[in-house]
Amino acid sequence: MIVVPCPNCGPRSSSDLRNCGEVVDRPNPKNATIEEWRSYLYLRENLASWVKETWYCRTGCRKYFTIERNTATNEIRGQ
């Protein structure tokens, strides 16, 4: 079980939350091309190391927050 620290609700089982994947920079809507939008939507680094990622506290406070997780070991370190 992966225990994820929600800033509001404290440590929770990952199955109570939703993993929204690695943080990807959002293109500027004013001048982004279609290709840039699609890259933002689909392309991922998918590293096997420390990754900054977004979680959604699905069954608790319903807030989004980011943490760092090592995707090779599932260790988590502070926000």
Binding site for other proteins (CB under 8 A): 1-2, 14-15, 18-19, 21, 34-35, 38-39, 41-48, 71-74
CB of 73 to Zn ion, least distance (A): 24
Q: Which is nearer to other proteins, 28 or 46 (CB)?
A: 46
Q: Which is nearer to other proteins, 25 or 41 (CB)?
A: 41
Q: Which residues pair with 76 in a beta bridge?
A: 69
CB of 53 to Zn ion, least distance (A): 16
Long-range interactions of 28-34: CB distance < 8 A, separation 24+: none
Nearest CA to 53 out of 26, 79, 27, 14 is that of 79
CB of 38 to other proteins, least distance (A): 5
Distance CA 61, CA 12 (A): 11
